[in-house]
Structures are given as C-alpha cells and as structure tokens.
Chain A
Amino acid sequence: MQSFTYERAASAEQAAAAVAARPDAKFISGGTNLLDLMKLEIERPAHLVDISRLPLDRIEETAEGGLRVGAQVRNSDLAADPRVRSRYPMLTQALLAGASGQIRNKASTSGNLLQRTRCPYFYDRNMPCNKREQGSGCAALQGFNRMHAVLGASEACIAVHSSDMAVAMSGLDARIETISPGGETRTIPIGDFHRLPEATPHVETVLGHGEMIAAVTLPSPPPGRQVYRKVRDRASYAFALVSVAAIVETSGDRIRSARIAMGGVAAKPWRATEAERTLAGAAASDGAFTDAAEAALAGAVGHGGNDFKIPLAKRTMRHTLAAAAESA
C-alpha cells in the first residue's frame, strides 16, 4: 500500500470539492473494497476523503411513496429496515445474500454500487488487465473465466459487476442521486449508471471525478411478487455465478407485467427487457417462463470457462419467474 493523506469530510459539498481538487484523491466509505485494493496497489490514491460519517445514513419516505436511502446506510441496516423488508423484499434478500455479516455491517449503499470487479487477473498486478492498466490486454479472455460475463462484454474486458444489491435495485428502477463539487445535484437512473466495457473498461460508471453519490431513491414498489435468487458455489460468502431478481404481477392466470434483472452475467446489473416484453400479457406458464429466459439470454456469448452460465441463467430465470408468479 502506498502512503496517503486523509481527511474526514465535514459536509457532502466539501467532500466532493476535496476529491475534485486532486486527481489522485478518492472517497472512502466503508472501505471494505477500497482498502483491499489499496493494499495490493491496484488502487493508489494519494489522498482519501472519508465520507463514512456524513449524515447520509437515513432512510426516508418520499412523496411518490418510495424510499430515499442515504449513501451511508449500511448494507445490514438497509436489509433490516422494516419498510424495505415489507415493500422491497427482494432488496433485503439480495443484500443478505451478499458478502458476510461483518462486511455488510461496514459496507455502505454507495460503496456497494461502486465495488469493483472480482476478476482474479484484475487483482494480480503482474497480469495483463485492461481495466487496471489500459492497453495491457485481458488475461481472462483466454484464461480462467468461470466467473466472467456472458452479456455486454467486449474484447477488451469480460469482467462482471459483482453486486447483489445493485441487481435488486435495477429491477426496482432505483435512481441514483449525486452531488458535484459545486453543489449541483443530478439523478441518474440505475440502468444508465454503470457502463459496459467497450474499449474503455477502466471507466465503470458515468460519475465524474469528485461527483459523490448522496442517495439512492426507490420508487414506490411496483405491483407483483418479488423474488431474488442467487446461485453460487457455496451456501454463503460467495459471489453470484448468476442471480435473478424478478417481480411478476399476475391477474388470474395471466401475467400483467414483469421486471427482471440479472447479476453475475455482465459488467452491470443486467435488465432483461426482452424477457419482460415476452411476459407481458402472456399466460403464467412454464412455456412463457422458458421463452422469457431464452429471450433474456439470446445475445449471450460464453468464453469457455463460463459457457455454463448461459444454461444456468436460463434455468434459474425460468424457476425464479415461476416462483415470483407463485406457480412454483
């Protein structure tokens, strides 16, 4: 780890200004991801602005009937909030399926959205990795890529975004509120927040330098039953091989609407809009769920070690949709 200077931010505006003032500065929140990366010198900020004690740790009702979650709300607290548990159960399920109890106690809402990939080549400074070092190549493409993306990847990078929380938020159409150094705020739909790798895998979101996440807003809960299903290599404390967040609204035997997001398959939480379209108005049947799963993975490409994710994602989605439609 390189030496760095440290300051504790007094306010959100001041934090944003402090980071903006130096190209080598970064925000630190719970530190559960950033510190690991700093120890390995994958991240080398020379200055840290600690935002973990800013008063952004409240969950508030919004006028539209949703919740506004402060950037500093801990993953454990968000999962346990009674309003979240009753109105956004799949968000609680997703949070509790992530990391470990200790990490969730430290991890913040904003840090979770901005956690970096777990690609093992990204984590080893001796390996080529375009995300870590632009233009050095991608060791995972021809290497051990069991955990990697099957959707939206590029020749430059096939890493996945490994958050569970963000997948549920994507299905819930969450909006991310930011504050910039000058005090301006903007709201970014979660679907536009993370970027696909294309030729610039090191650019992971649309945030500008010094732009700070202040909150995440959840619109009023959409109608339908919510289910988050995470498939992993052990019972807990493992990243998703694939995950599916599904909200299915039925009326009699018919599906009125569905919202589906997938994790573990792409560099961002992957909203399966094609699958949603095939389901709208369809009979709630095995056939419809299977078709939706096929549609969701239609463009999927495996890279050898992760080929299995395509059938796995389809099977998981089919069953998760059925569970959300209460037909399984």
Chain B
Amino acid sequence: MTETKTSENRPSEPRNGVIGRPIDRIDGPLKVTGDATYAYENALDGTAYGYILGAAVAKGRIAEIDTAEAERAPAVLLVMTHRNAPAQPDFGPAVTPTVPEVFTRARPALNSERVRYYDEPVALVVAETFEAARAAAGLIKVRYDEAPGVYDLPGHKADAYAPKRTNAGFETDSVVGDFESAFAAAPVKIDATYRTPFEHHNPMEPHATLAAWSGNELTIHTSAQTLANFRAGVASTLRIPPERVRIVSPFIGGGFGSKLIAHADTILAALAAQFLQRPVKIALTRQQMFANAGHRAEMIQQVRLGADTDGRLTGIAHDVWSATSSFEEYCEQTAVFARSLYAAPDRVTRHRLVPLDINRGEWMRSPGEAPGMLAFECAMDELAERLGLDPIELRIRNEPAQDPERGVPFSTRNLVACMEEGARRFGWVRREPTPGRTREGRKLIGYGMAAAIRPNYIGAATARVAIDRDGRVTARLDMTDIGTGTYTILTQIAAESLGVPISSVKVELGDSRFPRTAGSGGSWGAASAGSALHNACNALKQRILEAAQSSEASPLRGANATEASFADSEVRVGQQSAGLADLIRRIAPAGFEAEGSVAPGATTESYKAYSQHSYGAHFAEVAVDCDTGEIRMRRMLAVMGAGRILNAKTARSQIIGGMTWGIGAALMEQTVLDPRYGHFVNHDLAEYHVPINGDVPEMEVVFLEEHDDKANPLGAKGLGELGVCGAGAAVANAIYNATGVRVREFPITLDKVLPALPVIAI
C-alpha cells in the first residue's frame, strides 16, 4: 500500500499533471516478454566467447603458467595471459589524486604475473563457444609462488591508518568541541561496538560485455550504471581517446553500485576483440562476481553517545574501522551521516582503514548510511532504553534546528513528521517498552524503529529533446535505467512539461553518444537527469514559442508568449490556442530540438545555502521462535519525506526494495572471508543469503507531501537508497524488543539469540 499524505505545513504542487502518477513501467512489457536486450544477449556476426580463469591463491606471483593444452583444445581461438596480453598502463597508486579519477583510472587486466587477490584473472580463453572456452580454461596449469597475506580485520585493527578522504570526497574526520570531556561528564552514556560483515551486491544480471571494433572505433555493449565513467575507464586502460569508445547499455538487470566502473569482463573483451579482430563476449559467472565485482567491506564501528538525564545528547562519537584493499583504497563514508543527523555540542567522527589482500570495495547501495545507520540507530535505541525514554521521543528531543555540521538551514526536513505519522499508523503505542515480554504462542514479538537520512546529490547532466511535425517527442541522454524506473519518470517529466500524452514521448537512454549525465548511482539519477530534461523541455518550449510568434505561417503570430502554456497537445497563449503538431507542421516542418542541463549540486548557491537530505522513519515488527531462535519479519512500515514524488509506484518499489535490503543486512547477508586462504567462502547464491519472498512481510510505504524547491527545479530529491538507510536497524531494534538480546554483530542469525532465549514449558 502506498499513499501520499498531505501535511498542512508543506507547499503542495498542483496535481493535475502526469508527474507523480503511479503509471506502470514503460519498459515493463519489453522486460516481461524478453524483448529487452541485455548486454550478453546481443548477437553480432562472428562473435567469439571468453571465459576468465581466476587465481587459485590470494597473494603471490604466477611462477609458471602452461597454456599449451588449452590452446590445442577444440574451437579455442586465443589464450591470453600476462605473457601475451597487450600492453596496458600500470595500475598506479592506491589512491588517485582526485575523486573523479577513481572512476576514470585505468584498470588493467592480465598485465602482470602478480596476484593481488583470490580469483583475480590470470588467463582469458576465447573460443567459438562459451562451453569450449570454459572447458579449455580448466586445462590451464598454473603454479604460484604464494606469499603470506592479511585477511583478518579484527586481528589487524592496530595497523589501521587514516585515509586522506572518504568515498565521495568527504573529510576523513570531523571534530566539533571536545567529545572526550563531554562524554566523561555525561550522566548517561552508551559505548557500544558493532560489527558489520562483507556484503555483495549480486544484481540479477551478472557483469557482462560484448566488445566489437570497427577500424579503430570500439563499441561496448555492457551492463553499466554510468556510461561516461565506463567510457573514460576503458579509454585510459586501452590508451585511446574516449571519443573512440561507445558504450551501449539500454537495459540493466540491477547494479546497486557494482556497475559504476568497468570490470575485467569489459577490459578483457575489448582487448581480446582487438587481438582477434572479432566481436568478443565475456560474462562473469556468479561465483566470479564475489571477488571481481566489488563488495561492501567488513567494518567495526564504535558508537559512543553521552546524554543528560532528559535525553539531550551532549556528545556523539562514531569511529569506524573498515577493511580496504592493499592496492586500491576505498573508504566508505560510514560515519558521515552522523555529522548531520542529530544535534550535540561535542562530536567526533573518524574513519580508519585496515588494508587486506582482497579486491577493492565498491559503492554498494547507500554507501555510508547502510552500515553506519545499522550501528548508530541501534546505539540510539540502546540509549533510549537506558534513559527510559521512547526511542521516538529521544530522537525528537535531539532534532536540530539547522544542520549541525554545516550550520545552514535545512531545505526540507520532515524527520519528526515521518516518525509521528509512522508511530500512528504502525500502532507504536502497542509496543511493550520492556523487552522479551510480548509472546504469542511460542513466538516472541517485538517492535523496532529507526530514522533514515540520505544526502541529496545532483550530478552534472544534459538532456536533448526533440519534437517532430507529428508532435512526437524524443528525449535522449546517456542516463541509464538500472531497473529503477528512469525511462518511466523521464517520460512523465517530458509529457507533463510539453503537455503531450505519455504515448507521444519516447525516451532513449543508455548510449554514450547521447548527451552526458551522471548516470545512475548515489540516488542522484532521477533528480539530475530529470532536472536536465525538465530544463531541456523548457528550452524546447521557448524555441517553439519564439517561432510561433515570429513565423508568418503561425496562427499565434504576434501573441504575448509570457502567458503561454502547453497542455492537452495544444499551445495556449492568452485566448488563442493551436494544436501543437499542427503548429509545428506550419512553422517548422523539420521539428525542433533543444538541450538543457543542470550543474553539479555541490557547486550551486542553493546547495551552499541549504542542507539537503531526504529523511524517513522505519518501523518493523518481528517474531522470534522461542524454541529455535528463528527470526521472521511480520510487517514493516516506512514513512518518507523525499521531496516531490515523480511516480508513486516506482518510488514505492524503490523503498520496498531498500527495506528488503534492510532485512538482508539485519538478518542474513554476510560473505565470509577465510582468514587462512583469503577467499570468500560462500560465493554463490545458495550460500550467500538474500531475503527471498518468504522473508519479506507486508510492507507499507507512505510519502509525506513535499516539494523541495531548494533542491532542483522539479522539487524532487533522491530516494533510491533511502529505503535501506536505517531499515536494518529498525529490524535489529525489534529483535531486541522481542528477546532482550542485543546482538551487535551483524547479521543477526539465530545462533546469536538462541543462547539467551528462555526455555518455555511445553
């Protein structure tokens, strides 16, 4: 169930347009009928198939590699190893000089005999079929000189270092006042250490590429979230100008941050295609994705909260130790949200890294907030209990008047309204404050809640929109739809702006030949691409009106365009009106075209003047089996304040998907790194658990009416990741409320609660 609630204190948009309507996905029929072509499904004449062989050890060098048998195997065209791979730039330093270079740096493959992580590519076999390539890969014999590696975060916490910056360029540390003294003096304190495990994105569609050269032009069909980054990364690795690389990615079977940069499938397909002068297709297997397509790193988080006896926070400290890769740094901004969520005079947040001999961590849905709020929002729950306060009341008492970090006002912040509305709908009053007291049969029942916050980013984006003599609109941008509904909301934006039916609008995405955007990531996609398109449509309307006023053939010649509106496929100026298609046919039979852009958020005046975040409140009810400790969800509710909702249906889907991630993080997601061998032990979907349908309860999503005019011309804010933020903590807090067992090591599997569960008489 989804609802948009009107709250009196918010300006509300006129709701007669198509923006906001819960229309079905434009690309839905293509996807369910199999007509949406995903990267690996593209067919080109003469395509050859690659299979990557990964390293059997996590650290060392290839002492000997014998490919003779593989080369002789049937249908094999090429066996590429570090001995014969085309020259590529060295990988370079662990930290790039600037943040954007993280995305554009060369990522060479098979360029050295060095092995830096388990399952790192050591050979590529290309053959006439996938099966032949895979079989031949099994015939390659590799002898390694193995070197001792480091694979254990807690054991090496003492070796941690402070990075120069975190992901997205945030400061590593923040210090306000004197936390230690404030904490020492605080009458009520929490000092709790939480652990969050390695996690993997596992989008449904594995990473896959079809690369084809035509002369010195390279076309890459792949599964990418941000085409400009892919293009730049491929170009730097191949040492060719980016203009010679075209990335095509119209349909993406999920990304979650794992498809922001090119991986070995892309680089090796491009190299092999050049070598063989044939198109080459490579996909990572599901097992290979665990080592080769990014992960969320394991972390240890210490949260210290000091409060006065009324529950006002006097000190906040959030310290994070995270695993990183020994050869490429990635520091998730785990404690950054804690700089703006609650007020307290003395605060400190710090990020420290422990290098392990593993592949780099990557952006995984809600980087920062996902693991950070899992810990922090549990600590708030612990504090509320110690104070004898309701967890919502504790948060209300610490609601800041302005951004505590930056000292600027909020653009919009409806956290309190979200919590209050949620409490009412969820029946929060029925929560028994003393844990372990509510039983139904042999199940212990608990309620939990947590706050949600996620920054609003805008990335630079341009869109081009054209209208033809029949009134058909085509919008083009190199934006992607990673399953979130981008095609649909962009169609709605263009349709509403130009006053034409949805059926007259065609949105074309996923081709690097189209104007550049920031792609999909960090929840910035809809607001960035949407604002660019909105501006492009305004420019197009301007162009049409100018011609309509001046053209001899125009029925609106001389009209005063300041009063113009586009609606119902007509242009209206004062009392006059003309059919849009008819007007264009008369004044510009070739149609019109225009571009519109938005600048990156951080550079704008509005961003400097206002703190811009989306907010929300999560509620969860769990049942814990007294006999087995099995934890199952009963219901969840999220109330969100995320600016203007562009499509109530796709927005809800984003939030329930995020809440499902919260269930996964709280209850089951964990990749185990074997400290002896450095490999991810449970590297398939039978052993790496994500929630399945049976784990997902009834979910309710409510959007508060909001229009954030400070954020962008649309009034929308990012929400693709908001659903994750805090969702897991709400589940964990519900488990505590049900059982009285506070598990600080995620995921909360039954073995961690079982010892503390009472044996209840039969």
Q: Is the CB of B668 within 8 A of A311?
A: no
Given A143-B681, A311-B754, A312-B629, residue A234 in contact with residue B762 (CB < 8 A) = no
How many interface contacts (CB-CB < 8 Å) are there between A and B? 101
Alpha-carbon gap, A97 to B138, bound state (A): 36
A-chain residues with CB within 8 Å of residue B131 when the two chains form the complex: 1, 3
Alpha-carbon gap, A3 to B134, bound state (A): 10
Alpha-carbon gap, A187 to B750, bound state (A): 40
B-chain residues with CB within 8 Å of residue A222 when the two chains form the complex: none
Q: Is the CB of B135 within 8 A of A312?
A: no
Given A319-B762, A322-B762, residue A120 in contact with residue B682 (CB < 8 A) = yes
Alpha-carbon gap, A312 to B757, bound state (A): 11
Name the distance in Å between A231's Cβ and chain B's nearest Cβ. Answer: 5
Q: Does B417 contact A (CB under 8 A)?
A: no
Q: Does B677 contact A (CB under 8 A)?
A: yes
Alpha-carbon gap, A143 to B629, bound state (A): 24
B-chain residues with CB within 8 Å of residue A237 when the two chains form the complex: 692, 694
Alpha-carbon gap, A285 to B762, bound state (A): 8
Q: Which of A274-305 contact B (CB under 8 A)?
A: 285-286, 289
0/1 interface trace, chain B 372-415, chain A, CB 8 Å (1 if under): 00000000000000000000000000000000000000000000
A-chain residues with CB within 8 Å of residue B686 when the two chains form the complex: 118, 239
Q: Is the CB of A315 within 8 A of B695?
A: no
**Contact partner, A233, options B683, B750, B761, Cβ 8 Å:** B750
0/1 interface trace, chain A 103-137, chain B, CB 8 Å (1 if under): 00000000000000010110111110000000000
Alpha-carbon gap, A318 to B442, bound state (A): 13
Alpha-carbon gap, A32 to B473, bound state (A): 49
- A44 nearest CB neighbor, chain B only: B138
Alpha-carbon gap, A120 to B677, bound state (A): 13
Q: Does A193 contact B (CB under 8 A)?
A: no
Q: Is the CB of B692 within 8 A of A233?
A: no
- A316 nearest CB neighbor, chain B only: B628
- A328 nearest CB neighbor, chain B only: B762
- A231 nearest CB neighbor, chain B only: B628
Greatest chain A CB density within 10 A among B138, B442, B683 is at B138
Given A144-B681, A234-B691, A319-B627, residue A286 in contact with residue B762 (CB < 8 A) = yes
Q: Which of B653-676 contact A (CB under 8 A)?
A: 667-668, 672, 674, 676
Q: Is the CB of B135 within 8 A of A3?
A: yes
Q: Does B687 contact A (CB under 8 A)?
A: yes
B-chain residues with CB within 8 Å of residue A312 when the two chains form the complex: 628-629, 750-751, 754
A-chain residues with CB within 8 Å of residue B287 when the two chains form the complex: 40
Name the distance in Å between A216's Cβ and chain B's nearest Cβ. Answer: 25
Q: Does B755 contact A (CB under 8 A)?
A: yes
Q: Is the CB of B692 within 8 A of A234?
A: yes
Q: Is the CB of B762 within 8 A of A233?
A: no
Q: Does A165 contact B (CB under 8 A)?
A: no
A-chain residues with CB within 8 Å of residue B682 when the two chains form the complex: 120, 144
Alpha-carbon gap, A139 to B762, bound state (A): 40
Q: Is the CB of A234 within 8 A of B668?
A: yes
- A320 nearest CB neighbor, chain B only: B627
Q: Is the CB of B679 within 8 A of A233?
A: no
Q: Does A41 contact B (CB under 8 A)?
A: yes
0/1 interface trace, chain A 228-263, chain B, CB 8 Å (1 if under): 000111111111010000000000000000000000
Greatest chain B CB density within 10 A among A121, A238, A239, A318 is at A238
Alpha-carbon gap, A6 to B667, bound state (A): 43
Alpha-carbon gap, A2 to B681, bound state (A): 24
Alpha-carbon gap, A318 to B135, bound state (A): 50
Chain B interface SS verdict (over half): loop
Name the distance in Å between A133's Cβ and chain B's nearest Cβ. Answer: 13
Q: Does B200 contact A (CB under 8 A)?
A: no
Q: Which of B418-453 contact A (CB under 8 A)?
A: 442
B-chain residues with CB within 8 Å of residue A41 when the two chains form the complex: 138
Interface residues on A, range: 35 or more
Alpha-carbon gap, A31 to B667, bound state (A): 31
Q: Is the CB of B674 within 8 A of A308?
A: no
Q: Is the CB of A2 within 8 A of B138?
A: yes
- A39 nearest CB neighbor, chain B only: B134
Name the distance in Å between A285's Cβ and chain B's nearest Cβ. Answer: 8
Given A124-B679, A127-B677, A142-B676, residue A311 in contact with residue B692 (CB < 8 A) = no
B-chain residues with CB within 8 Å of residue A316 when the two chains form the complex: 627-628
Q: Which of A134-181 contact B (CB under 8 A)?
A: 139, 142-144, 146
A-chain residues with CB within 8 Å of residue B759 when the two chains form the complex: 315
Q: Does B152 contact A (CB under 8 A)?
A: no
Q: Does A62 contact B (CB under 8 A)?
A: no
Name the distance in Å between B11's Cβ and chain A's nearest Cβ. Answer: 43
B-chain residues with CB within 8 Å of residue A185 when the two chains form the complex: none
Given A308-B751, A311-B754, A312-B754, residue A234 in contact with residue B667 (CB < 8 A) = yes
Given A235-B694, A308-B754, residue A1 in contact with residue B679 (CB < 8 A) = no
Q: Does A11 contact B (CB under 8 A)?
A: no
- B630 nearest CB neighbor, chain A only: A231
Name the distance in Å between A60's Cβ and chain B's nearest Cβ. Answer: 34
Q: Does B107 contact A (CB under 8 A)?
A: no
Name the distance in Å between A292's Cβ and chain B's nearest Cβ. Answer: 12
A-chain residues with CB within 8 Å of residue B695 when the two chains form the complex: 234-236
Greatest chain A CB density within 10 A among B672, B681, B682 is at B681
Q: Is the CB of A236 within 8 A of B692?
A: yes
B-chain residues with CB within 8 Å of residue A232 when the two chains form the complex: 630
Name the distance in Å between B600's Cβ and chain A's nearest Cβ. Answer: 41
Name the distance in Å between B699's Cβ and chain A's nearest Cβ. Answer: 15
Q: Does B565 contact A (CB under 8 A)?
A: no
B-chain residues with CB within 8 Å of residue A315 when the two chains form the complex: 627-628, 754, 759
Q: Is the CB of A235 within 8 A of B632?
A: yes
The 15 listed contacts between A and B (C-beta, < 8 Å) are A2-B135, A39-B134, A40-B287, A124-B679, A126-B56, A139-B674, A143-B681, A235-B692, A236-B693, A308-B754, A308-B755, A315-B628, A316-B628, A319-B627, A319-B628
Seen from chain B, the residues whose Cβ lies within 8 Å of a Cβ on chain A are 56-57, 74, 118, 131, 134-135, 138, 287, 442, 627-630, 632, 667-668, 672, 674, 676-677, 679, 681-684, 686-687, 689, 691-695, 749-751, 754-755, 759, 761-762
Extra contacts besides A118-B687, A126-B679, A235-B694 (4): CB < 8 Å: A39-B134, A139-B677, A236-B694, A316-B628
6 smallest CB-CB distances across A and B, nearest first, come from A235-B694, A308-B751, A126-B56, A236-B694, A319-B627, A286-B762
Seen from chain A, the residues whose Cβ lies within 8 Å of a Cβ on chain B are 1-3, 39-41, 118, 120-121, 123-127, 139, 142-144, 146, 231-239, 241, 285-286, 289, 308, 311-312, 315-316, 318-319, 322, 327-328
